[in-house]
Structure 1
Amino acid sequence: MWIASGSTDYIFYQRETSKAHQDHIILHEVGHILADHESDASDAASLPELMPGISPDVIRKALRRTSYDDEREREAELVATIILEWASVLDRVTPPAPADRSAQRVHTALSDRQGWL
């Protein structure tokens, strides 16, 4: 679940699942952020107390967002899948960074790589 406040975005994910599934859940919510979708929140009774200032309408809206029939959900799912695919490619083609901090600085300074690619 993604909740946007005035200055911060909060992403909540399931603890009792695999790390890979958690990563996918988080990136799905990042997909909503990148696609400029509206934030949602859960209608759990404790959330309004934990996050005052979030409208109860927004909180109720979140539980209805469970189907991939919605275009926004498919879009967020696609973003998560693309990011995970690129990450798996980069894991295979990017040489590991040196373990020694001094060697890391030299490696970074001499590297021809710019940014995340």
Structure 2
Amino acid sequence: MKERELRKRCRKMLNKLDIEPPLDVGVLCERLGDQRGRPIRLMPYPLEVPGPFGCWIATSTADYIFFQQETTKSHQDHIILHELGHMLADHHPGGDAEPADFLRGPAPDLDGDAVHRALRRTSYDEAHEWEAETVATIILEWASVLNYTIPRRADDDDVRRVQGALGDHQGWL
């Protein structure tokens, strides 16, 4: 998929999910999970270094995103958005996926029969990794601009009407 297509898909997703600046990755996951009809569970975990920073595992009832807990909040957000990028780009690994050994401790219920797919990558050489990384970068680029340039939506209806009349625009590039 080309970067232009990814940008369109990201913009469409953020608008459809009614995600407004400032970006809250937890809210994004909650709304995307609602749209997909299955919760997205964020699982901070002390992953081994060197090794993967994150892993998405889809079971029959939920999506789990494991991410490195031993890093900064901004890096964690990037890792989570990367894994969401795999979902957004409709990536599916081949064959029957087994949970990685490093995940058996924090989620023993994720046995081989329950796992439909697992994406565990440590490099960006493959097209899927490029797409997932590009999705994360696109969303973070937009957030870095919009989080600081667009006024927060007012709670008061009258103030929102005035903001609308003055041309304050809430939304994604």
Unaligned runs of 5+ in 2: 1-54
**Higher normalized contact order (CA 8 Å, seq sep 6+, divided by chain length):** 2
Aligned counterpart, 1:13: 67
- Give, in whole Å, the separation in 2 of the partners of 1:10 and 1:116: 28
Structure 2: how far apart are the matches of 1:77 and 1:94?
Answer: 25
Structure (1/2) with the larger strand percentage: 2
Instruction: Work out which of the residue numbers 137, 146, 156 in structure 2 matches 1:105.
Output: 156
- Structure 1 gaps, min length 5: 99-103
Equivalence for 2:78 = 24
Q: Runs of at least 4 residues of structure 1 off by over 6 A?
A: none
Aligned to 2:109: 50
Whether contact under 8 Å (1:48, 1:54) holds in the other structure is: no
Which residue is equivalent to 2:129?
73
Count of paired positions: 107
1:85 aligns with 2:141: yes
Structure 1 residue 50: Cα displacement: 2.9
Structure having the higher helix fraction is: 1
Any conservation in 2 of the 1:5–1:54 contact (CA below 8 Å)? yes
- Following TM superposition, by how much is the alpha carbon of 1:51 offset from its aligned partner in structure 2, in angstroms? 1.7
Name the CA distance, whole Å, in 2 between partners of 1:84 and 1:33. Answer: 17
Percent identity over the alignment is 46
Separation in 2, partners of 1:74, 1:10: 21
* 32-41 or 85-94, larger mean C-alpha shift: 32-41
Change (3 A) 1:116 1:7: farther
Q: CA deviation at 1:111?
A: 4.5
TM-score (norm 2): 0.52
TM-score (norm 1): 0.73
> Is the 8 Å Cα contact of residues 150 and 170 (structure 2) preserved in structure 1?
no
CA–CA separation in structure 1 for the residues paired with 2:74 and 2:107:
30
After superposition, what is the alpha-carbon deviation per residue over 1:56-110, rounded to whole angstroms, capped at 9, x for unaligned? xx56x73xx2111111001100110000000011112211345xxxxx1323455
- Report the structure number with the largest CA radius of gyration: 1
